[in-house]
Amino acid sequence: MKIEVLGTGCAKCKKAKELVEKAVEETGVDAQIVKVENIDDILSYGVMVTPAIVVDGEVKIAGKIPELDTIKEWLSH
């Protein structure tokens, strides 16, 4: 599983990455977590606001920090 955290380094983007890391740790899923900061790469997903989280190429959320339980749900599917 590949999880991408899209963001330019803002506080919300850092928090989103921390939550993704915690969710992966708590669920024990085998996942590669990648921080994407390049604007062109972020825009290639059609994302206009950050933070955003992409799981296996699918944008799951953009513009806000998800709840930990929400991230865990994404990881279980």
Catalytic residue among 13, 16, 53, 54: 13
> Would residue 77 show up in a list of annotated catalytic residues for this protein?
no
Question: Given 3-state DSSP classes, what are the helix, strand and coil percentages for the chain, each rounded to the nearest 5?
Answer: 40, 25, 35
10 in active site: yes
Annotated active-site residue in 2, 8, 9, 10: 10
The answer for residues whose C-beta is within 8 angstroms of residue 2's C-beta and 6 or more apart is 31, 32, 34, 55, 56, 57
Q: Which residues are catalytic?
A: 10, 13
